[in-house]
Amino acid sequence: MIQLILCDTCVVIDFINQNNENLVRLKEQGNIPCINSVIEMELIQGAHNKREMQKIIRNINGFRRLEINQNILDLATQLLTQYLLSHHLQLPDAIIAACALIYDIPIFTYNVKHFKYLPNIKLFAP
């Protein structure tokens, strides 16, 4: 069954750095790796120079983009309000989680602790 999977920033960084075994396996299983604008911005923010930025932009072109709409932002605000103080939920992770929840798809992440406490969140493990 083909499924969209939202790839967290850490997974895309691995892919960019040629540590892409998990992402290759994901694609071989017929899944479609996705990112959103927040993940893209986190990646670009991590660039140390122009060459790195170009490498990031070139490598993320193979990912499907998921639109962030007002429903996602409203849910992210709710998640932040509920989990900022208790679990230190950060703004990018709130938007990533809300995107996964609204699209009803799993998040592929190495940072499970950032999301596992969120109700109804689906996490992908290769």
pLDDT, tens only, 98-123? 999 999 999 999 999 999 999 999 99
Q: How many domains does the chain have?
A: 1
Instruction: Look up the CATH number of the domain holding residue 18.
Output: 3.40.50.1010
What is the secondary structure of 32-43 as a DSSP string?
EEEEEHHHHHHH
pLDDT, tens only, 31-48? 999 999 999 999 999 999
- Closest to 108 measured CA to CA, from 4, 32, 5: 5
Cα 120 to Cα 44: distance, rounded to the nearest angstrom: 29
Positive or negative: CA dihedral 69, 61, 94, 124: positive
pTM: 0.94
Domain range holding 23? 4-124
pLDDT at 109: 95
